[in-house]
Amino acid sequence: MSDISAVEYRFLSLAMAYPDEKFLNGLLELKKIANNNIIYFNPLINLAKKEKSAEQQAEYTRLFISGFPKTPCPPYESFFTQGILFGKANEIVRKIYSDWEMDVIPSLADHISTEFEFLAFLSAVKETSDYTNDAKQTFTYFLNNHILNWILDFAYTLQNNTKNNYYLQYAKVLLNTFSPKTNIL
């Protein structure tokens, strides 16, 4: 997992953004940056293009924000590791971001997009700066003690609670990327 590029982590982050008009353009821009070398970019982008915007937005809202009678898949570490929103995981990751002089909206600190964005940042820093060792250590700690503690549970929950092809594919990408010795794409 440590060989995932900064662009891939950025893509995984953006792929969980609210599917508005900027959403697809952002995914396409990252595809250009990656020079079309990441195999799962195209299937997700093609599905994002096919989905009707209103339907995609409704499914995003149902899955991640305010489903009735309950939201099936809140994309937050503290939900999957503690069963609550804004729990200890949120507090811990905010401290880690602060150590790197990054400000985030407190309620989004342990959101999947924010955590992947932080890994994208660390991936870039560990390759290009004087902080290489610090970035490598923080990256390894964050991946092992945060992302890997919940991402597979999130992916399975997502897979079991949607029929939307885009989100099913996103779950498969997560499972393929973060499951040991798995190839389900």
What pLDDT, on a 0 to 100 scale, did the predictor assign at position 181?
A: 63
What pLDDT, on a 0 to 100 scale, did the predictor assign at position 69?
A: 87
What pLDDT, on a 0 to 100 scale, did the predictor assign at position 133?
A: 85
Residue 130 lies in a domain: yes
Burial 39-70 (b: 16+ CB within 10 A, else e): ebbebbbebbeebeeeebeebbebbbeeeeee
Residue 78 lies in a domain: yes
For residue 149, what are the contacts with CB-CB under 8 A and spacing of at least 6?
77, 80, 81
CA 146 to CA 91: how far, in whole Å? Answer: 12
- The first and second tokens of residue 78, run together, are 């503290």
CA 72 to CA 69: how far, in whole Å? Answer: 9
**How many domains is the chain built from?**
1
Tens digit of pLDDT per residue, the chain (185 long)?
A: 447 889 999 999 999 999 988 899 999 999 888 876 788 898 999 999 998 888 999 999 999 999 888 999 999 999 999 999 999 999 999 999 999 999 999 999 999 999 999 999 999 988 776 778 899 999 999 999 999 999 999 999 999 999 999 999 999 999 999 988 654 44
**Percent of the chain at pLDDT above 90?**
73
Domain span at 73: 6-178
Residue 49 lies in a domain: yes
What pLDDT, on a 0 to 100 scale, did the predictor assign at position 39?
A: 81
Residue 36 lies in a domain: yes
What pLDDT, on a 0 to 100 scale, did the predictor assign at position 4?
A: 86
What pLDDT, on a 0 to 100 scale, did the predictor assign at position 51?
A: 83
Residue 132 lies in a domain: yes
SS3 content of the chain, % helix, strand, coil (to 5): 70, 0, 30
Q: Return the bridge partners of 111, or none.
A: 76
Coil vs helix vs strand at 111 = strand
Q: What is the CATH number of the domain that holds 65?
A: 1.10.3480.10
Coil vs helix vs strand at 101 = coil
Q: Mind listing the pLDDT tens digit for each residue in 13-25?
A: 999 999 988 899 9
Residue 1 lies in a domain: no
Helix axes 148-161, 165-178, angle to 10 degrees: 150
What pLDDT, on a 0 to 100 scale, did the predictor assign at position 110?
A: 98
Residue 136 lies in a domain: yes
Residue 60 lies in a domain: yes
CA 65 to CA 56: how far, in whole Å? Answer: 13
